[in-house]
């Protein structure tokens, strides 16, 4: 309402201490002006005239934000001067512009960042100390090649690991996700390495999905046909920020008349932008809410009995597989005949979920009474202690309400991409080693790899047992060694024992905290510095492919991944096999276009494609998941083991761990959850939603983004008041694993008792080990989930005090 102006500010500064972004960043030593030539917004008219000698090119946005957008760059005198949005003249529902978000618009600052790695380095201090010495590329590559051979000889290829890393995943040549791209190709030729299954994104979702629907939901353009859209732990205007994502599809659905309900501990940005009804739920209790909603529908008789009988396994006793003990069905669980003998009444669910019983009843009737209704899950509720359960529970509601397999409805999972364009990729070849660990369990691979088996403790895949401990780690374009993995302080300690994991190679473009763990640190080029072809955004009725132009010369001594892979291949005696006749980057890219032209009639020639910069395909969408199954369940079974909506999973039943891997999706109280006695010491639940100013840790070095969205601990007004904390005050957030200092964002936008520290900020410990930039993984616990062995990073308890 009122804001004090500059004079008041400066005057009051002397009397009452006030924090401002500039002071915070000064404290971090980063007040440096935004890179890239400032002229302070003056004389724009003259500049426009002068800028006529600049040119614009398509580039891309190639990291892990869940979207892809069309990004252009204005280049002048060999420098990128500004970022521009999708220049397509048309912007309709069928041919939606892929308008880039604030991060895409910040690419210039990310590339021209003072934190850029400038030359190859080797570690000189203790591991993790961050002391490095400049070396030549020659030396760096020799060291890596020698070490690879040494490890291979001494321990075998199964002592090599390729860590999860999503900094460069948009396709084409510069693609360095596990198993794809040039480094993977060399390593496959070299005899392979242990890889992983699952992702930090969807560990529980992808592990549980095959056992419930075995596939995603309707494509997002179908939202236009929904009357009611219920978003469950989903925040697509943030997690699909780009202007062609699910977030914008939601707004289009709103325009078409759909009502929204958002079930989330946080009144998230999507709830605001869709003008939704917010149902603030206690974290980790979705299964209790889902059970109570199902209970009300059963009692009201508003669910589709016939559908459940025909299409599901284990909804009630009649549909249980042969030989299953009595009262194992979901109905038995609901009605209090199941293992816990407790009816799942709204009154039962109210104290667990924090939602009053009447509200639950109202919600059940709203959902059951509005058709078609689309229920979607985000991945927030599955990045939790028992994240497998809600993934399997929500489709039950979709099925009960008759929304499964119909337009405007959905199967209760997540939207599927609507439009695919088949183009070529970089031929990485096959990994000869089939052993895979859960993506999250690499610390165990380091500490006790040789003990790990396919048994329930480790659930390794592709082999019965492991043969070695991890001795060599590749970490290319990822920050999951520390920053994005759990319990940073614990992890760093483990890594400091150099006798265990002997060698870490990190490639990045900036000095991240994971990079500080490296033994050899390789400076990569960014997408501005090399030519590439990247995939598009499959959301809705259109898609595109981008020609990513080389806009500038590589900065400093940065070298692109193809060059590094070739050099390495040469040193390992694999140069000829690696190249397979490809002498230039362009020759690989031409292969990609050749495949694209085979699969898409109107795909332009390489030259045309490069000239235009992008290829758009329209006319997709309209995917109704499970439609064929609903029409004829015998002829078109689902891909679940039972071929039906698998509410009761025989596979999970066979695992004999009903407490943590129940056959039907149950509410399991979380460790460090609402009902954990540890709350006496650490009373506040803390999640870490994905936030709009970063893609994970990527972009946290862009000062303009940090200024626009200040990293802060979200906490409820009442919790703040009880601690004497006001909006913007500096707080300390701590538990037994560490401490973080950040400003508090005091808001009614989340439940009392709940806090959120948006994930991805750069871990920046001060001399006492206190993180002063707000990295949530200072506080998260390394504790794999039971079935997926995934990351429960949203389940945490903390205490907060005024700093």
Partner 1 sequence: MDTREWALLIFTILGQIAAGSLLVLLIVRAFAVRMAGVDQADRFTNGPLYIIFPIMGLALLSSLLHLGNPLNIAKAVPNLGTSWLSREVVIAVVFVILVGVYALMQWRKIGNNVLRTVIGWITGLLGLVQVYGMGMVYMIRTQPAWNTLATPVSFLVTALLLGVATIAAALIVNNALLNKGDKKDEQQLEMLRKALQGLAIASIALLGVEFLVTPLYMAYLPSQGVEAMQSLEMMVGTFGVIFALRLIFVFVGAGILATYIYRNASILGKEGTLSTLVFSALILILTGEVMGRFIFYATHVRIGL
Partner 2 sequence: MAKQLGFYVNLADCSGCKACEIACKDRKELPLGVRWRRVYEYGGGEWVADGDQMVPSGVFHYFVSTACMHCEKPICMEVCPASAISKRDDGIVLIDPDKCIGCRYCSWACPYGAPQFNEEAKVMTKCDFCVELQAQGQNPACVDACPYRALEFGDIEELKAKHGELNDPAPMPDPSLTHPAIVYTPHKDTRTSQSGGGQVLNID
Ligand X SMILES: Nc1nc2c(c(=O)[nH]1)N[C@H]1C(S)=C(S)[C@@H](COP(=O)(O)OP(=O)(O)OC[C@H]3O[C@@H](n4cnc5c(=O)[nH]c(N)nc54)[C@H](O)[C@@H]3O)O[C@H]1N2
- The option from ligand SF4, partner 2, ligand X, none interacting with 232 (CB < 5 to 8 A, set by class) reads ligand X
Question: Among residues 284, 346, 372, 786, which is the contact residue for ligand X, using CB under 6 A?
Answer: 284
Q: Is there a cis peptide before residue 372, judged by omega within 30 degrees of 0?
A: yes
Among 281, 335, 686, 788, binds ligand X (CB under 6 A): 281
CB of 85 to ligand SF4, least distance (A): 9
Please give the Cα distance from 640 to 665 (Å, whole number): 15
615 contributes a contact to ligand X by CB under 6 A = no
Q: Quote the least distance from Cβ 478 to ligand X, whole Å.
A: 4
Partners of 461 in beta bridges: 436
Beta bridge partners of 745: 714
For residue 11, with 0-12 CB atoms within 10 Å meaning exposed, 13-18 middle and 19 or more buried, which class applies? Answer: exposed
Q: What's the min distance (Å) between Cβ of 381 and ligand X?
A: 4
Report how far residue 635's alpha carbon sits from residue 195's, in angstroms, rounded to the nearest whole number: 36
Edge-first strand order for the sheet with 373-377 is 277-279, 259-263, 228-232, 373-377
Position 341 contacts partner 1 (CB under 8 A): no
Strand partners, 735: 738
Residue with smaller CB distance to partner 2, 251 or 645: 251
Site string (99-138) toward ligand SF4, x via CB under 6 A: -xx-xx----------------------------------
Tell me the three-class secondary structure of 716-773, residue by residue: EHHHHHHCCCCCCCEEEEEECCEEEEEEEEEECCECCCEEECCCCCCCCECCCCCECC
Question: CA of 374: how far to CAs of 151, 463, 749, in Å?
Answer: 52, 40, 24
Q: Which of residues 203-242 bind ligand SF4 (CB under 6 A)?
A: 241-242
- Is residue 513 near ligand SF4 by the rule CB under 6 A? no
Number of residues that bind partner 2 (CB under 8 A): 82
Nearest distance in Å: CB 33, partner 1: 18
* Contact status, residue 293 vs residue 329, Cβ threshold 8 Å: no
What's the CA gap between 329 and 323, in Å, rounded?
A: 12
Report whether 478 contacts 166 (CB < 8 A). Answer: yes
Report what 516 binds from ligand SF4, partner 2, partner 1, none; CB cut-off 5-8 Å by kind: none
Beta strands (DSSP E) in 356-399 are 373-377
44 lines the binding site for partner 2 (CB under 8 A): yes
Query: From residue 84, how far is each of 58, 107, 171, 331, 703 by CA, in Å?
Result: 9, 10, 21, 55, 19
The string of DSSP letters for 408-474 reads T---SS-EEPS-------------S---EEETT-HHHHHHHGGG-BSSTTT--BSSSB--S---EEE
We find the least distance from the C-beta atom of residue 750 to ligand X, in angstroms, to be 8
Q: Which residues partner with 510 through β-bridges?
A: 116
Position 559 contacts partner 2 (CB under 8 A): no
- 504: part of which helix (H) or strand (E)? strand 503-508
H or E, element range at 160: strand 160-162
Instruction: Please state the closest distance from residue 73 (CB atom) to ligand SF4, in A.
Output: 12
Specify the residue, 314 or 535, whose C-beta has the smaller distance to ligand SF4. Answer: 535
Which of the ranges 7-15, 524-532, 549-557, 716-724 carries the binding residues for partner 1, by CB under 8 A? 7-15
Q: Is 526 in the site for Mo ion (CB under 5 A)?
A: no
Considering only residues 520 to 559 of the shown chain, the ones binding ligand X according to CB under 6 A are: 524, 526
Closest CA to 666 of 176, 266, 157, 286: 286
Stretch that binds partner 2, among 32-40, 158-166, 190-198, 543-551 (CB under 8 A): 32-40
Q: Which does 11 bind (CB under 5 to 8 A by kind): Mo ion, partner 2, partner 1, none?
A: partner 1
Query: Which one, 159 or 288, has the nearer CB to ligand X?
Result: 288
Site string for Mo ion, 186-225 (x = CB under 5 A): ---------------x------------------------
Encoded tokens for 253 = 């659905």
Q: Are 163 and 474 in contact (CB under 8 A)?
A: yes
Q: Which of 538, 695, 701, 791 binds ligand SF4 (CB under 6 A)?
A: 695
Residue 225 binds partner 2, judged by CB under 8 A: no
Footprint of partner 2 on residues 714-733 (CB under 8 A)? 716-718, 727-728
Task: Determine whether 485 is exposed, middle or buried from the number of CB atoms within 10 Å of its CB (0-12, 13-18, 19+).
Answer: buried
Our finding on whether 244 is near ligand X (CB under 6 A) is no
**Least distance between partner 1 and beta carbon 7 (Å):** 6
Comparison of 60 and 479: residue with beta carbon closer to Mo ion: 479
- Residue whose CB is less far from partner 1, 42 or 635: 42
Total residues at interface with partner 1 (CB under 8 A): 14
Classify 636 as helix, strand or coil.
coil
Rounded distance, CA 217 to CA 397, Å?
14
Size of the site for Mo ion (CB under 5 A): 1
> Which residue's C-beta sits nearest to Mo ion?
201
Cα atoms found within 13 Å of the Cα of residue 432, Cβ hemisphere only: 11
Q: Which residue is nearest to ligand SF4 (CB)?
A: 104
Query: According to the binding rule CB under 5 A, does residue 282 interact with Mo ion?
Result: no
522 phi/psi in degrees, rounded to 5: -110, 125
Q: Of 152 and 383, which has the nearer Cβ to ligand X?
A: 383
Q: Is 286 in the site for ligand X (CB under 6 A)?
A: yes
What character string, x for contact with Mo ion (CB under 5 A) and - otherwise, covers 79-98?
A: --------------------
Q: Does 4 bind partner 1 (CB under 8 A)?
A: yes
Asked if residue 31 binds partner 1 (CB under 8 A), the reply is: no
Q: List contacts with partner 1 (CB under 8 A).
A: 1-5, 7-8, 10-16
Q: List contacts with ligand SF4 (CB under 6 A).
A: 61, 65, 67-69, 100-101, 103-104, 241-242, 695
Q: List contacts with ligand X (CB under 6 A).
A: 63-66, 165-168, 200-201, 232-235, 238-239, 241, 263-266, 268, 281, 283-284, 286, 378-381, 383-384, 476-480, 484, 507-510, 512, 524, 526, 687-690, 692, 694-698, 759-760, 776-777, 780, 793-794
């Amino acid at each position: 309402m009122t804001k004090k102006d500059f004079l008041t500010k400066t005057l009051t500064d002397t009397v009452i201490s006030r924090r401002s972004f500039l002071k915070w960043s000064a404290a971090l030593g980063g007040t440096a002006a935004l890179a890239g030539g400032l002229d302070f917004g003056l004389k724009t008219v003259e500049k426009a005239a002068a800028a006529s000698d600049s040119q614009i090119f398509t580039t891309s946005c190639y990291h892990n934000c869940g979207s892809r957008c069309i990004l252009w760059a204005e280049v002048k005198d060999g420098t990128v001067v500004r970022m521009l949005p999708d220049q397509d003249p048309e912007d309709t529902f069928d041919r939606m512009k892929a308008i880039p978000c604030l991060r895409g618009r910040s690419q210039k600052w990310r590339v021209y960042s003072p934190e850029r790695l400038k030359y190859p380095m080797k570690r000189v201090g203790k591991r993790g100390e961050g002391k490095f010495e400049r070396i030549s590329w020659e030396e760096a590559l020799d060291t890596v090649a020698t070490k690879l051979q040494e490890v291979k000889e001494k321990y075998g290829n199964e002592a090599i690991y390729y860590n999860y890393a999503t900094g460069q995943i948009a396709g084409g040549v510069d693609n360095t996700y596990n198993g794809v791209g040039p480094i993977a190709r060399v390593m496959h030729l070299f005899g392979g390495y242990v890889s992983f299954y699952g992702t930090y994104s969807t560990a529980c979702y992808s592990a549980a999905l095959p056992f419930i629907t075995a596939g995603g939901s309707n494509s997002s353009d179908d939202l236009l046909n929904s009357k009611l859209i219920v978003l469950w732990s989903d925040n697509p205007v943030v997690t699909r920020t780009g202007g062609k994502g699910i977030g914008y599809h939601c707004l289009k659905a709103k325009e078409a008349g759909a009502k929204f309900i958002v079930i989330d501990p946080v009144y998230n940005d999507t709830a605001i932008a869709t003008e939704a009804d917010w149902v603030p739920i206690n974290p980790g209790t979705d299964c209790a809410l889902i059970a109570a909603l199902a209970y009300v529908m059963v009692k009201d008789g508003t669910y589709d009995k016939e559908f459940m009988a025909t299409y599901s396994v284990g909804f009630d006793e009649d549909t249980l597989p042969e030989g299953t003990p009595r009262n194992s069905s979901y109905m038995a669980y609901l009605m209090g005949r199941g293992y816990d003998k407790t009816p799942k009444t709204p009154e039962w669910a109210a104290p667990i979920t924090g939602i009053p019983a009447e509200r639950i009843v109202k919600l059940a009737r709203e959902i059951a009474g509005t058709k078609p209704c689309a229920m979607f899950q985000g991945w927030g509720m599955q990045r939790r202690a028992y994240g497998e359960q809600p993934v399997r529970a929500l489709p039950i509601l979709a099925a009960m309400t008759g929304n499964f397999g119909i337009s405007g409805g959905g199967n209760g999972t997540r939207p599927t991409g609507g439009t695919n364009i088949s183009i070529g990729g970089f031929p990485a070849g096959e990994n000869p080693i089939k052993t895979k660990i859960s993506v999250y369990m690499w610390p165990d691979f380091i500490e006790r790899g040789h003990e790990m088996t396919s048994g329930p403790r480790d659930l390794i895949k592709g082999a019965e047992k492991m043969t070695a401990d991890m001795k060599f780690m590749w970490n290319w374009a990822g920050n999951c060694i520390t920053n994005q993995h759990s319990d940073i302080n614990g992890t760093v300690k483990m890594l400091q024992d150099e006798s265990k994991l002997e060698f870490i190679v990190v490639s990045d473009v900036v000095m991240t905290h994971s990079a500080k763990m490296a033994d050899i640190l390789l400076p990569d080029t960014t997408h501005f510095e090399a030519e590439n072809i990247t995939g598009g955004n499959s959301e809705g009725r259109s898609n595109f492919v981008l020609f990513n132009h080389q806009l500038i010369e590589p900065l400093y001594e940065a070298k692109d991944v193809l060059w590094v892979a070739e050099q390495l291949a040469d040193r390992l005696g694999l140069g000829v096999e690696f190249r397979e006749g490809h002498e230039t980057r362009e020759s690989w890219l031409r292969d990609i276009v050749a495949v694209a032209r085979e699969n898409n009639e109107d795909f332009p020639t390489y030259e045309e494609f490069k000239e235009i910069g992008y290829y758009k395909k329209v006319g997709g969408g309209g995917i109704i998941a499970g439609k064929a199954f609903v029409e004829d369940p015998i002829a078109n079974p689902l891909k679940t083991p039972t071929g039906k909506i698998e509410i009761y999973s025989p596979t999970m039943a066979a695992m004999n761990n009903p407490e943590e891997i129940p056959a039907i999706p149950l509410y399991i109280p979380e460790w460090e959850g609402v009902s954990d006695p540890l709350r006496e010491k650490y009373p506040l639940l803390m999640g870490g939603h994905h936030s709009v100013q970063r893609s994970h840790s990527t972009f946290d070095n862009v000062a303009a983004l940090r200024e626009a969205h200040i990293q802060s601990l979200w906490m409820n007004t009442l919790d703040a008041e009880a601690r004497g904390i006001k909006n913007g005050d500096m707080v300390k957030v701590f538990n037994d694993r560490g401490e973080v200092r950040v400003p508090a964002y005091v808001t009614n936008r989340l439940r009392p008792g709940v806090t959120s520290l948006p994930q991805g900020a750069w871990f920046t410990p001060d001399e006492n080990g206190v993180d002063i930039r707000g990295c949530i993984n200072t506080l998260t616990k390394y504790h794999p989930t039971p079935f997926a062995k995934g990351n429960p990073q949203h389940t945490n308890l903390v205490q907060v005090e005024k700093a």
